[in-house]
């Protein structure tokens, strides 16, 4: 089953994703998309918190840019793949340029559509605030929303996490739009 778990910062979405992975009982590949920059101590602390909270038995791949390629290699291997998180991955692509981000989004949607096995994608819901003032921020918000919509059509389960509580928006069906 392919799942998309959305939520705000510190909404509990990563914990919910990890709980769901544990329930499946298969070997796990955890794909971390964050990029460690030594000048960003706060981000380093966030990454360390995630490292400490996941089981040591999980295989971990750090994939800040080439996510579609990594998922394509893992499809059909009988492992559960957990990606945390899509918004950091999109940020990494957008920092290269808008075209790279949009190409990556298109490739990701294609790979998820063809993915065989258990796949859990975690991402930040960024569309509930005001429209940002800066062009770069608006580009990020708009494209993140588009990606979430495209993925939600493909996956069998979509959940929104608020205050550590997952609310299923879609469970079991595939919508064609």
Calpha distance 53→146 (Å, rounded): 30
Q: Answer yes or no: is 51 within a domain.
A: yes
Residues 78 and 116: their CA atoms lie apart, in Å, by 8
Please pick, among 46, 50, 54, 170, the residue that the annotation labels catalytic.
50
pLDDT tens figures, 12-35: 999 999 999 999 999 999 999 987
Give the tens place of pLDDT for each residue, 113-156. 999 999 999 999 998 888 888 999 999 999 999 999 999 999 99
**Would you call 50 a catalytic residue per the annotation?**
yes
Q: For the whole model, what pTM was predicted?
A: 0.91
Total domains present in the chain = 1
Q: Are 86 and 7 in contact (CB under 8 A)?
A: no
Does 166 reside within a domain?
Answer: yes
Give me the domain span that covers residue 8. 2-171
Q: What CATH number corresponds to the domain at position 97?
A: 3.40.50.300
Contact yes or no for 160/167 (Cβ under 8 A): yes
Determine which of 50-59, 86-95, 151-160 has the lowest per-residue pLDDT on average.
50-59
What's the per-residue H, E or C state across 76-128? CCCCEEEEECHHHHHHHHHCCCHHHHHHHHHHHHHHHHHCCCEEEEEEECCCC
């Amino acid at each position: 089953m392919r799942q998309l778990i959305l939520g705000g910062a510190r909404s509990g979405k990563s914990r919910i994703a990890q709980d769901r992975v544990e329930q499946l009982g298969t070997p796990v590949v955890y794909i971390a998309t964050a990029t460690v920059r030594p000048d960003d101590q706060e981000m380093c602390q966030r990454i360390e918190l995630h490292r400490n909270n996941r089981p040591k038995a999980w295989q971990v791949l750090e994939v800040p840019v080439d996510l579609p390629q990594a998922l394509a290699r893992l499809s059909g291997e009988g492992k559960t793949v957990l990606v945390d998180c899509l918004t950091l991955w999109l940020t990494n692509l957008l920092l290269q340029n808008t075209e790279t981000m949009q190409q990556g989004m298109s490739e990701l949607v294609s790979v998820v559509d063809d993915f065989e096995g258990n796949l859990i994608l975690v991402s930040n819901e960024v569309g509930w605030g005001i429209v940002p003032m800066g062009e770069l921020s608006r580009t990020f918000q708009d494209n993140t929303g588009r990606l979430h919509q495209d993925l939600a059509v493909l996956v069998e389960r979509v959940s929104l996490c608020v205050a550590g509580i997952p609310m299923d928006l879609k469970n079991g069906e595939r919508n064609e739009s």
